[in-house]
Structure 1
Amino acid sequence: MSRICELTGKGRQTGHNVSHANNKTKRIFLPNLQNVTLLSDKLDRSFKFRVSTQGLRSVEHNGGLDNWLLKTTDAKLSARAVKVKRELQKAATAA
């Protein structure tokens, strides 16, 4: 399972461990991913996503899952998140 946030697209980053003698060795920084169940108000359903903690705060700050998905581009979202976004768009046009 890849270490990529399904809602923000945040993935691993590379960098260096730097010793006191200024020796540099490669390392990776992984995002803090959590399995979370988010509720969609418009669809009256809950969805399970693997989201970074930073992404979770961003989703809650922007008014919930529905607003986040409609504002975010498809390139940043996972395939499952894009499916939920399409359902939201269909529900918005049907209402």
Structure 2
Amino acid sequence: MARICELTGKGRMVGHNVSHANNKTKRTFLPNLQNVTLLSDVLGESVKLRVSTHGLRSVEHVGGLDNWLNKTSEAQLSLKAQRLKRKVAKAIVAATAAVAA
């Protein structure tokens, strides 16, 4: 399983450990990924995603999963999140059509 956030695309970064003697050794910085269950208001169901804590705070700041998916480009999302975004968009269109009729 790749260590990449499904919502923000945040992945591992490469850097150096630097000793007191200024020796540099390669190391990786991994994102703080959490398995979370987010609720979709439009779909009325919960979705399990692997999200970084930064991504989770961003979702809460924007106002929920549905708003985050509408705001974010598909290039940044994982395949699972892209499918979820399309599903939410269809549900929004269906809901507005039902209200208009």
2:99 maps to what in 1? Answer: none
1:39 maps to what in 2? Answer: 39
Counterpart residue identity of residue 67, structure 2: N
Structure 2 Cα separation of the partners of residues 23 and 86 of structure 1: 49
Shift of 1:29: 0.1
Q: What 5-or-longer segments of structure 1 have no aligned partner?
A: none
Structure with greater proportional helix content:
2
Runs of 4+ aligned structure 1 residues displaced above 2 Å come to none
TM-score under structure 1 length normalisation:
0.98
TM-score under structure 2 length normalisation:
0.92
Instruction: Give the 5 Å matches for 1:8-47.
Output: 8-47=8-47
Instruction: Give the 5 Å matches for 1:1-95.
Output: 1-95=1-95
| Number of positions where the alignment pairs a residue of Structure 1 with one of Structure 2 | 95
Q: Report the secondary structure of 2:54's partner residue.
A: helix
2:98 maps to what in 1? Answer: none
CA RMSD in angstroms comes to: 0.5
Structure 2 Cα separation of the partners of residues 53 and 18 of structure 1: 26
If you compute each CA radius of gyration, which structure gives the higher value, 1 or 2? 2
Shift of 1:93: 1.2
Structure 2 Cα separation of the partners of residues 38 and 57 of structure 1: 12
